[in-house]
Amino acid sequence: MKTGLYPGTFDPVTLGHEDILKRACTLVDRLVIGVAINTDKQPLFSLDERVRMVETIGRRIGKESGTKISVHPFSNLLVQCAEEVGARVIIRGLRAVSDFEYEYQMVGMNRSLNAGIETVFLMADAEYQAIASRLVKEIARLGGDVSRFVEPDVAAALYRKHRMVANPGGQ
């Protein structure tokens, strides 16, 4: 049984993440989606919200692909998380060259921490390659259409969240 770990912040989960998830399912029998708790990115969505959104998508893709998908929040080191969930493979998505440098360093560091864990990079379909959670949040904040970047329930959550942030009293 080959287990993979797909870690990220998922703030929020996008169609780009979803594309990578589907591809990862062709490589492993069991996929754990690691949702980062202690992220210095100061997420817009709480851990619970991010986990729930990822779970909904994971359930659907799991059914479609026959891969067992589970969601695991983590705040420890990535390799420790991989050891915890029994994953020998870490899945990462690569978008542009800008992702490469950070990922390159991370692989080097993770390899020196645990040489038994391999990192695999996947690229999304051209249609989804440019999607980044950060930009999706910005578009939603400014009232733009995010329907081509995220699932409808995620888009609704984004608009709701931005209304709450802009109008905390709810008046």
**Which residues are identified as catalytic?**
17, 41, 95, 133
* Residue 51: CB minimum distance to ligand ADP, A: 13
> Which tokens sit at 49?
């919200």
Rounded to whole angstroms, what are the CA distances from 123 to 23, 135, 150? Answer: 9, 18, 17
- Secondary structure of residue 138 in the 3-state scheme: helix
Query: For residue 154, what are the contacts with CB-CB under 8 A and spacing of at least 6?
Result: 12, 13, 14, 53
131 makes contact with ligand ADP (CB under 6 A): yes
Of the candidate spans 4-12, 65-73, 109-117, 152-160, the one that interacts with ligand ADP by CB under 6 A turns out to be 4-12
Rule CB under 6 A: choose which of 55, 83, 99, 118 binds ligand ADP: 99
20 makes contact with ligand ADP (CB under 6 A): yes
2-19 as b/e, with b when 16 or more CB fall inside 10 Å? Answer: ebbbbbbbbbbbbbbbbb
Rule CB under 6 A: choose which of 10, 28, 44, 62 binds ligand ADP: 10
* Residue 170: CB minimum distance to ligand ADP, A: 29
Q: What amino acid is encoded at 117 in this protein?
A: I
43 makes contact with ligand ADP (CB under 6 A): no
Q: Give the footprint of ligand ADP on this chain (CB under 6 A).
A: 7-10, 14, 16-17, 20, 92-93, 95, 99, 124, 128-129, 131-133
